[in-house]
Amino acid sequence: MTTYVLLIKFSPELAKDFAAMERMGKEVREKYMKACPGINLLPHHYWLSGPYDFMHVYESPDVESAFKMASVILSTGMASSVETWPAINYQSLLGLVKDI
């Protein structure tokens, strides 16, 4: 499975209603877990202070499932922007560049 980092910029409506954030987050999670059963959410969920509001780290069996997860999140209206980046851990990087 490939690791991905998903960056979310909340919609202006959600950014104005923090009380709804937890409820909406649970609803959206149910939708993408149903639509993408192969996704494995890792225990890395962070609130960010910058151009994006929230970050998930997860594993996906294929790039199509990763894109589908981002599409489900966008389709709910909770996010105005979503980016999905493949990622590797530091030890894997060291192995890749060992002979360079």
Q: What is the pLDDT of residue 13?
A: 83
Q: What is the pLDDT of residue 86?
A: 96
Domains in the chain, CATH or no CATH each: 2-97 (3.30.70.1060)
Inter-residue contact 99 to 75 (CB < 8 Å):
no
Please write the tens of the pLDDT for every residue from 11-37: 888 778 878 888 888 898 899 989 999
Q: Can you tell me whether residue 74 is helix, strand or coil?
A: helix
Q: Token pair of 41, please?
A: 């959410």
Please write the tens of the pLDDT for every residue from 61-99: 999 999 999 999 999 988 999 999 999 999 999 999 998
Nearest to 69 by CA among 79, 60, 78, 77: 60
